[in-house]
Structure 1
Amino acid sequence: MGGASGAASGRLRAALLAAAAVSLPSTAAQLVHVQRIDGSTAEGRVTRIADAVELQTDAGPLRLGWDEMMAMRPASLAPTPAPAPGALTVELADGSIITGRIVDRPDGAALEFFGGAVRLDSRQLSEIRTTGASASASARLAELRAEAEGAQDVLVAARGAESVVLRGVVKQIDAERITFTWNDKDTAVPWSRVAGVRFARPTVRGASGAVVLHGGDVLAGRASSEDGQRVVLRSGLLGEVVLEWSQIERIEWRSERLVYLSTLRPARYEHTPLFDRPWPYRFDRTISGGPIRIGGRAYERGVVMHSRSSLVFALDGGFDSFVATTGVVDEVRERGVVTLRVIGDGRTLWEAAGVRGGQPPREAVVRIRGVHELILEVDYDDDLDIGDHAAFAAARLIRADAP
């Protein structure tokens, strides 16, 4: 399977523009909310996005450096479209996440979305997952996602109400099935039985940011805007993509000063269940495998744990602060009451007690200069441990200067 061609990138640009013109209202949503990596915010109208972000605020012009930025959201958001029946979600090695359907073409299988198509190259794929998988199969895929990358591809398939895990090599992908080689035997598995497949050691391509679209698609690359009216995303895998503000949920920046905790390997995980059922921790997903939401807002990154748990990270002492948006995840509704703590080198640096499901999120901004062991803790509070699924959303470490 080969990479995306220049012609495919051109078709993608045209398709995205057509989708903006036909599927969504064309509005110049220039008023934006900006969040810096230190948790502070600003609001204004975008005049330019280049090496810096330039806003016109009520107090006058504001210029924000690239390494200060974390995210930007249009002040008014369009409705989120529902995924098409039978859609697949493809995660690329640069962090792009695209939902669509697989089609067969003369030059190989492709993912068709927004009326365009991008060829599927196994060297540039991290994961493919389906939307109609059983709960057990989806949960097993989430567990595999938290494991270290292996030398083999991993396929999770449904077998009745249960799931089966195959380890081997993806031989072929087409619109109807995935052909998987395991135990020296080729097995064709229809997509209706597939929960997902994780690819071993893709060729990772770093990106300096990403644009998140309504519906959850993520296009990794560097965003810019010369006039504040449209956003141009330049992507190593997708080429140049032109987007209307009405398509965009948020723009994210990736600074060398910022490290998300979910990209690090914990030194250890300690869990004391109240009863006999143990609970794992999850990165970038809820414990059940769903998206992280607190107070109605979605977070692409984060750490989710069940009481009573402690997740320990070994640091180099060179970070200035830890920042996260905390709370009980929305999927447990109003259940769950926890105490949350951030502990550095044995000292409690931040604590929030009586954190309940359904409450607005709480911001944790914690000074950790010189800290070598950082612990995130979810403890019991009232009501035993019922629904105690808590998140440190967008949990991140910040240096004073880029390394």
Structure 2
Amino acid sequence: MTMRQLNGLRLRSCSFDTARHPRTSLALGYSIVLAGMSGLLNCDIAAAQSESENLDVTVQTIRPDLLRGELLALSTDSGAVLKAGSGEVQRIPTADLVRITSEVPVFSRRAHDFTVTLANGDTVLGRVVGGSEEAFIIETLDLGTLQVPLDAVVELQTANASAPMYRDYVAWFRRQLSDVSRKEYDDPGPSFPVDRTGPGSRMAPDVASPEMGRNDQVLLTNGDIAKGFITSLSDEGVVIEGELGESVIPYRLALIARFASVAAPTLAGHPHLIIQLRSSGRMTATDLKWSGNSIEACLRYVDEVHIEADRIVSVDVVGGRWEWLSDREPVSYEHTPMLSLPWAFRLNRNVLGRPITVGGEKFEHGIGVHSRSVLTYDLKGAYREFVTQFGIDDDSGPLADVSVVILVDGQRRYGQEHVQRGQFFGPIRLDTGKAKYMELVVDFGTNGSIQDRFDWINPALIR
């Protein structure tokens, strides 16, 4: 029996693991580091200050103003140490950090790179060079060679999947996966036969197979799907065991390998960092020590790795005082259509399911809605502030016009009429101390509901 058949995710820890708890700072500003810094990263801050090539960064915290300077140190336990242009050195607790952004550009993926998606949403870009029933080996530009447990993999996408000639196959396959994720399959119902040789057009695009949610799947370059149990990822291809026994599907004939029944782990209660790398994807670090240009990190599913500072594009802090509203579900959602079909809200996408874009700028965090909509959130008196920006999505037309209202415990705290395309509002910061619930209302404007595709942008609650 393999590790995946045991259906248990192996947990790893690094040699420098220590207790991890958010440190709350309620002071009006951040302290100036004068000397000592006992307990901070166990590193020599003076040595980091003497480095002439510390990474220049922009730091977003829970406070309104951005901070800029040289990053001297960063730790999941003790926060960041930043040297401003004036020479002052500031210490920022982990709990107050939101994002650290460098000037390192994101490089385009190499033509032969695969994209591996893990159970927690991490992505690894690189070339698979070997593996076993328990793990596979992938070569990356930023992290070197990694060994990743097979039981942590949700999906492997080969370089072929990005080719325009396979776009329709990939889009259809993802639609089927999306349909299956929203259904329960107590009744087996209809299913597609396992056939690896026929034309892809044979598969009706409007039918979702229940088997898509029960078996591992490999989408082939001819549009067919091979089903079974993926036993390993080798240097030659995907090894899958089906009704006819075990076979190897060469990577050149595969588009996507999708794994079933992968449990998503949680890191609730532990602050952790999400690192965007220059060329190798996006990874979660459960522990990190950054001093000058040297970084040691414990990645989720992977043992301790060394990273050069100029390989890091950004670092997001999760589990501090800042909580993205799009990371939680509302307690209720109401949509009142006007002569049109009902619209669902979308998390981190616009209402059409596309990237949130306002004024030509794309945003990673947000909520897409259509008028008239009301999102209600349970605050339980646990948050001090609500922060948001908003605007009409660029996917809308010139007739879009809405009114925006924010209610806290039923009381109107903010309102803006005639929000139209091309306008951008915020950041808006509202006091929510001891509030029990909050309502975000997007109402009809001058033209009813015509083209009213609206985005709440970077909405967040602050503890």
Give the TM-score band, short-chain normalised: 0.7 to 0.9
SS in 1 for 2:95: helix
Counterparts of residues 182-261 of structure 1 (less than 5 Å)? 199=261, 201-205=263-267, 208-214=272-278, 217-221=281-285, 222-227=287-292, 229-261=293-325
- Distance in structure 2 (CA, Å) of the matches to 1:150 and 1:40: 50
Counterparts of residues 24-103 of structure 1 (less than 5 Å)? 28=53, 30-50=55-75, 51-59=78-86, 60-74=88-102, 76-82=103-109, 84=111, 87-93=114-120, 95-100=121-126
SS in 1 for 2:67: strand
Identity %: 19
Q: Deviations over 1:351-375 (max 9, x none)?
A: 3444444444631312111221212
TM-score using structure 1 length: 0.73
Matched, 1:267 2:336: no
- Matched residue, 1:112: 138
2:67 maps to a residue whose letter is A
Contact 2:213 2:260 (8 Å CA) reproduced: no
Change (3 A) 1:179 1:387: farther
SS in 2 for 1:67: helix
Shift of 1:202: 3.1
Change (3 A) 1:266 1:275: same
Contact 1:137 1:195 (8 Å CA) reproduced: no
Change (3 A) 1:299 1:308: same
Change (3 A) 1:214 1:380: farther
Contact 1:141 1:196 (8 Å CA) reproduced: no
Change (3 A) 1:35 1:65: same
- Matched residue, 1:167: 213
Q: Deviations over 1:17-39 (max 9, x none)?
A: xxxxxxxxxx9572211111244
> Unaligned regions of 5+ residues in structure 1, if any?
7-26
Contact 2:128 2:137 (8 Å CA) reproduced: yes
1:92 maps to a residue whose letter is A
Matched, 1:121 2:150: yes
Shift of 1:161: 4.0
Counterparts of residues 355-366 of structure 1 (less than 5 Å)? 355-360=419-424, 362-366=426-430
Larger radius of gyration: 2
TM-score using structure 2 length: 0.64
- Distance in structure 2 (CA, Å) of the matches to 1:90 and 1:311: 30
SS in 2 for 1:164: coil
SS in 1 for 2:291: coil
- Distance in structure 2 (CA, Å) of the matches to 1:287 and 1:84: 32
Shift of 1:164: 1.9
Change (3 A) 1:264 1:311: same
Contact 1:68 1:255 (8 Å CA) reproduced: no
Q: Deviations over 1:44-70 (max 9, x none)?
A: 121222312111223422221111110
**Larger CA deviation: 275-284 vs 211-220:** 211-220
SS in 2 for 1:370: coil
- Distance in structure 2 (CA, Å) of the matches to 1:384 and 1:216: 46
- Distance in structure 1 (CA, Å) of the matches to 2:297 and 2:401: 41
2:339 maps to a residue whose letter is F
> Unaligned regions of 5+ residues in structure 2, if any?
4-8, 13-51, 193-199, 217-228
1:306 maps to a residue whose letter is H
Change (3 A) 1:54 1:373: same
- Matched residue, 1:11: none
SS in 2 for 1:225: strand
**Larger CA deviation: 195-204 vs 367-376:** 195-204
- Matched residue, 1:342: 406
Contact 1:127 1:199 (8 Å CA) reproduced: no
